[in-house]
Structure 1
Amino acid sequence: MRLINPKIDFAFKKIFASSDSKDILINFLNAILYEAQPVIEDLEIIKSQPGNQTFGVDTQLDVKATINGDRIALIEIQVINVPSFGTRVLYNAAKTYSLQLTREERYERLKTVISLKIADFEMFGNQPEFLTRFVFKEKEQQFDYPDTEIELVFIELPKFTKELAELETTADRWIYLLKNTSTLDTVPETLSAVPEIEKALRMASEDKFTEEELNELQNQELWIEDQQIAIELAKEQVTKAAHLSLILRQVVRRLGTIQPETENCIRQLGVQELQELGDAVLDFQQQSDLTAWLQANPI
Structure 2
Amino acid sequence: MQPVFADPKTDFVFKRIFGAEGRKPLLIALLNHLLELDGERRILDVQHLTGEQHIGVAELKLSIVDVKCTDASGRRFVVEMQVLKVEGFEKRVVYNASKAYVMQLRNADEYPALCDVVGVTICNFNLWPDRDEHDGFKVPMLSRWRMQEQHCGERGLPQVQYAFLELPKYAAGDAPETLIDKWAYFFREAKNLNVVPPALSERPFRDALEVARTATFSPEEWEAYERAKMAEQDARGALALARQEGIEEGRQSGLTEGHRSGLVEGKRDALLRLLARAGISLSEGERARIQACADASTLDRWIDSVLGAKTASDVLS
Q: What's the counterpart of residue 199 of structure 2?
A: 190
Measure the CA separation in 2 of the matches of 1:89 and 1:52. Answer: 22
Which of 35, 40, 65 is 2:43 aligned to? 40
Matched, 1:174 2:183: yes
> Structure 2 stretches of 5 or more lacking a match?
132-136, 251-317
Q: What's the counterpart of residue 125 of structure 1?
A: 129
Contact 2:11 2:58 in 1 (8 A): no
The DSSP-based 3-state class of the residue aligned with 1:111 is coil
Measure the CA separation in 2 of the matches of 1:180 and 1:78. Answer: 16
Q: How far apart are residue 113 of structure 1 and its match?
A: 0.2
Deviations 1:173-208 (A, max 9, x none): 112101110000100122112x22111110000022
Which residue identity lines up with residue 168 of structure 2 in the other structure? P
Q: What's the counterpart of residue 91 of structure 1?
A: 95
Q: Which moved more, 1:4-13 or 1:121-130?
A: 121-130
Measure the CA separation in 2 of the matches of 1:53 and 1:19. Answer: 19
Measure the CA separation in 2 of the matches of 1:9 and 1:187. Answer: 22
Measure the CA separation in 2 of the matches of 1:95 and 1:184. Answer: 38
Q: How far apart are residue 241 of structure 1 and its match?
A: 11
Q: How far apart are residue 235 of structure 1 and its match?
A: 6.7
Pair 99,240 (structure 1): closer, same or farther in 2 beyond 3 Å: closer
Measure the CA separation in 2 of the matches of 1:52 and 1:94. Answer: 25
Q: What's the counterpart of residue 25 of structure 2?
A: 23
Measure the CA separation in 1 of the matches of 2:243 and 2:32. Answer: 38
Deviations 1:108-153 (A, max 9, x none): 22111000111111111226211112111122333212x3100011
Q: What's the counterpart of residue 168 of structure 2?
A: 158
Contact 1:78 1:119 in 2 (8 A): yes
Pair 61,101 (structure 1): closer, same or farther in 2 beyond 3 Å: farther
Which of 74, 82, 92 is 2:78 aligned to? 74
Which of 122, 134, 152 is 1:141 aligned to? 152
The DSSP-based 3-state class of the residue aligned with 1:75 is strand
Q: What's the counterpart of residue 231 of structure 2?
A: 223
Deviations 1:245-271 (A, max 9, x none): xxxxxxxxxxxxxxxxxxxxxxxxxxx
Pair 53,27 (structure 1): closer, same or farther in 2 beyond 3 Å: closer
The DSSP-based 3-state class of the residue aligned with 1:63 is strand
Q: How far apart are residue 234 of structure 1 and its match?
A: 6.3
Pair 140,112 (structure 1): closer, same or farther in 2 beyond 3 Å: same
Pair 94,223 (structure 1): closer, same or farther in 2 beyond 3 Å: same
Measure the CA separation in 1 of the matches of 2:165 and 2:101. Answer: 22
Pair 181,53 (structure 1): closer, same or farther in 2 beyond 3 Å: closer
RMSD over equivalenced CA pairs, Å? 2.9
Q: Which moved more, 1:132-141 or 1:47-56?
A: 47-56
Which residue identity lines up with residue 131 of structure 1 in the other structure? L
Q: How far apart are residue 53 of structure 1 and its match?
A: 8.3
Q: How far apart are residue 52 of structure 1 and its match?
A: 9.9
For normalisation by structure 2, the TM-score amounts to 0.68
For normalisation by structure 1, the TM-score amounts to 0.72
Measure the CA separation in 1 of the matches of 2:151 and 2:229. Answer: 45
Contact 1:61 1:74 in 2 (8 A): no
Measure the CA separation in 1 of the matches of 2:142 and 2:110. Answer: 34
Identity of aligned residues (%): 29
